[in-house]
Amino acid sequence: MTTPAEEWHFPTAAIGRRVLVFNELASTNAVAADWPADDEADGLVVVARDQTAGRGRFGRVWRSRPGSSLLLSVIVCPPADLRRPVVLTAWAAVAVAGAVRELVGVSPRIKWPNDLLAGGKKGCGILIEQGRRTVAGVGLNLNQSADEFAAAGLPEATSLRMLGGREYDLKAAAGVVVRHLDAVYGRLVAGDRWAVEAAWAAGLGLVGRDVTVEFTDGATARGTLRAARFGGLEVETENGLRVFVPETVGHVREVPR
């Protein structure tokens, strides 16, 4: 395994007490998933300044200019009742949204299921992978310009630099993100999942709106979203109230009025 270039330590309760920083990796999620099992693995964070084969949903490859994004993966060992994709994705989304608010004063919207949008443009992607351990990957755009995104064919992307009007230091940004990940994870483990669920639902911004629900099997449903909970999405359809298991939902899109 590649040797880390440096190691950071943040004063957190569980996540980020140890952060291994690599100059280049194929994928932070892959390194975290293959990390040897030991007493220090839980809460370990892997950061890459450059990532050559970063993965998104459905195996999509993701690449950015070295140092322009915060690319990290966290190893966690959650209790069985928290090992649901919807809960873990909500944890990471709520935490990173809080970090973005702290860093740039902008409240991003959570786009189902795993992106953060600011000004309608994507600034962060999240990937939860579960095998022999649980890994949460975060790719947060820090210092790209609009011209860089345009040249890469990504006009619908944004960065903290574009939102905040300045450059962001990688370690400082990582410290804020890790602190929020640690705090929200701590609430989940302590049993305060309802507060995280409420923040996730508020971040989606779709409760009370007319939506189209697209399922992973290709089916769709349309109606008014009455509630977004980890236990189910409650949608008022023309045939009455229906409750959909979040893990069966690929997208939830607002219907323009």
> Which of residues 168, 185, 202 is at a domain's end?
202
Q: What is the tens place of the pLDDT at every residue in 55-83? A: 544 444 555 678 899 999 999 999 999 99
**Whether 170 and 225 share a structural domain:** no
- pLDDT at position 144 is 96
Q: Does residue 120 share a domain with residue 24?
A: yes
What confidence tens digit (pLDDT) does each residue in 228-253 have? 999 999 999 999 999 999 999 999 99
Nearest Cα to Cα of residue 127 among 80, 71, 78: 71
Q: Is residue 87 part of a domain?
A: yes
pLDDT above 90 for 93: yes
Q: Which of the four pLDDT bands, split at 50, 70 and 90, describes residue 221?
A: very high
> What is the rounded CA–CA span in Å between residue 51 and residue 201?
31
CB 86 within 8 A of CB 78: no
- Same domain for 125 and 41: yes
Query: Can you tell me which residue has the tokens 């979040």?
Result: 246
Average the pLDDT over 8-26 and give the result. Answer: 97
pLDDT value at 112 more than 70: yes
- Alpha helix positions (H), the chain: 28-33, 85-104, 146-151, 160-164, 170-189, 193-204
**Same domain, residue pair 180 and 238:** no
According to the model, what pLDDT value does residue 38 have? 78
What is the rounded distance in angstroms from the CA atom of residue 53 to the CA atom of residue 38? 26
Average pLDDT of the residues of the chain: 94
114 & 237 share domain: no
Residue 120 contacts residue 162 (beta carbons within 8 Å):
no
Asked if residue 96 and residue 42 are part of one domain, the reply reads yes
Looking at the fold, whether 188 and 211 belong to one and the same domain comes out as no
Residue 1: inside a domain, yes or no? no
- The tally of domains found in the chain comes to 2
Residues in the chain: 257
Kindly list the distances between the CA atom of residue 235 and the CA atoms of 203, 221, 242, in Å, as whole numbers in the listed order: 18, 9, 5
Residue 23: pLDDT band with limits 50, 70, 90: very high
Residues 90 and 198 in one domain: yes
Q: Is residue 44 part of a domain?
A: yes
197 plus 230 within the same structural domain = no
**What whole-number distance in Å separates Cα of residue 243 and Cα of residue 121?**
29
Q: What is the pLDDT of residue 63?
A: 59
- Pair (79, 15) in one structural domain: yes
Look at residue 1 in the predicted model and tell me its pLDDT: 65
What pLDDT was estimated at residue 55? 54
pLDDT at 209: 98
pLDDT tens digits, one per residue of 172-219:
999 999 999 999 999 999 999 999 999 999 999 999 999 999 999 999
State the pLDDT confidence band at 54, using cuts at 50, 70 and 90.
Answer: low
CATH number, domain of 159, equals 3.30.930.10
For the domain that residue 211 is a member of, what is the CATH number? 2.30.30.100
Instruction: Identify whether residues 193 and 221 lie together within a single domain.
Output: no
Range of the domain at 218: 206-254
Smallest CA-to-CA distance from 201 within 219, 232, 238, 227 is with 227
Task: Report pTM.
Answer: 0.94
